[in-house]
Structure 1
Amino acid sequence: MARKNARNGLIQAALEVVEEGGMGALSLDTVAQKAGVTKRGLLYHFPTKHALITGVHQQLAAHFEQALEQATGHTPQQATLRERTKGYVEAALNAPSVGEKRFLIEASQEPEWLEPWMQVYLRWFPEDQTPIGELSKEELLCLVARMSADGAWGYLYATGSALDDANRKRLSSTILQNL
């Protein structure tokens, strides 16, 4: 139990380092210092910076999956495609921290960092393995809604904008209006 909490503390410290100084500030030394542990203690859990970043992505993806379950009230197997899509839009539009956003942008740079995200996504949307030309109308509308949520997230990140609850709901309902 203590080891898992130590690992989570190190991941939280990494998120804080990146929140404060960007990805360039991330090093094993800065994370150990932020977490209040020795570098050796950090290396016990994460032997390399790459392993630390992988651990951050695994935890962030797991938290996103929890948000999907909370938003739908179901596991992916129990929810309909529309419920899963509505949950995705809701979860995607919830504002991650600046540190989380910076890590998410980095995920595309490394297959190992992207993998936990893809596992979650494919559990929730296995139909997306079907070529777009073969999707049913409902599947296509759901895909467009998820892509819109991702685009909104990217827009908000790029512009530094934030959404209050009322505007988050307005944007979400607009994205989902065709479902």
Structure 2
Amino acid sequence: MARPSARPKLIEAALRVVEERGITALTLDAVADEAGMTKRGLIYHFPSKHDLITGIHEDLAARIERELVEATGGEPEEASLVERTKGYVRAALRAPTTVEMRLIMEAANEPEWMEPWLRVYRRWFPEGEQPVEELDEVALRCLVARMAADGAWGYESTLAAPLTQEGRRRLVTRILDVLDQP
């Protein structure tokens, strides 16, 4: 029987390092130590810090995709644009961790780190490549709802205190109201 890969354990260790000590503390030594592995064992899976961060983004994007499937009730090909957007709003406004926010903000500066996020987004919203001026009314409302959900991340990252569950619920309800307008 094959041993399970150590990659998930290493990614979780890296996420703990970033959450507890910040992105600048993310080193191969720190992750190996946090995971209880040798640096050589870590390098077998992630030859460089860049590769480790790429692996983290791939893992986080895969988690978001699973949340989108759950929040939408199925795969994107089985759902309308409005249903996919409602799922996106619900998934995006779950309580994000500080580490996710930090890493996603860092990804904007590195195309390889951004690619897993773009792959998920393009799968769920292929019409997103269309210029705003060409969107019909429903597609425009869906775009506004997604932008509002994304903006909640930025809003929360600048607050001294995170949104409460009630505040989060109210935001989801209000954003989804935009989609139900005639």
The match for 1:2 is 3
Deviation at 1:3, TM superposition (A): 4.3
Equivalent position SS for 1:71: helix
Match of 2:131 in 1: 131
Rounded Cα–Cα distance in structure 2 between residues aligned with 1:3 and 1:47: 19
**Structure 2: distance between partners of 1:119 and 1:60:** 12
Q: Which residue number corresponds to residue 32 of structure 2?
A: 32
Q: Write the mapping of 1:17-166 to structure 2, written as runs, cut at 5 A.
A: 17-166=17-166
Identical counterparts, % of pairs:
57
SS at match of 1:178: helix
Give distance in 2, aligned partners of 1:60 and 1:121: 13
The 1-side partners of 2:41 and 2:160 are apart by 35
Unmatched tracts of structure 1, length 5 or more: none
CA–CA distance in structure 1, aligned partners of residues 71 and 161 of structure 2: 23
Q: CA deviation at 1:160?
A: 3.8
Kindly indicate whether the alpha-carbon contact (under 8 Å) linking 2:101 and 2:153 is maintained by their aligned counterparts in 1.
no
Q: CA RMSD in A?
A: 1.1
Where structure 2 has 5 or more consecutive residues not aligned to the other structure, the ranges are none
Runs of 4+ in 1 over 6 A off after TM superposition: none
Shift of 1:167: 1.9
Amino acid at match of 1:153: W
Amino acid at match of 1:68: L
CA distance in 2, matches of 1:40, 1:169: 45
Residues 69 and 85 (structure 1 numbering): CA distance in 2 closer, same or farther, change over 3 Å? same
Give the secondary-structure state (helix, strand or coil) at the position aligned to 1:2. Answer: coil
Instruction: Tell me how far apart the structure 2 counterparts of residues 113 and 32 of structure 1 sit (CA, whole Å).
Output: 21
| Alpha-carbon distance, 1:163 to partner | 2.6
Structure 2 Cα separation of the partners of residues 160 and 22 of structure 1: 17
Alpha-carbon distance change, 70 to 57 in structure 1, aligned in 2, over 3 angstroms = same
**Within 1, Cα distance between the matches of 2:4 and 2:115?**
24
TM-score (norm 2): 0.95
Q: Distance in 1 between matches of 2:34 and 2:100?
A: 17
Which one-letter code corresponds to 1:113 in the other structure? W
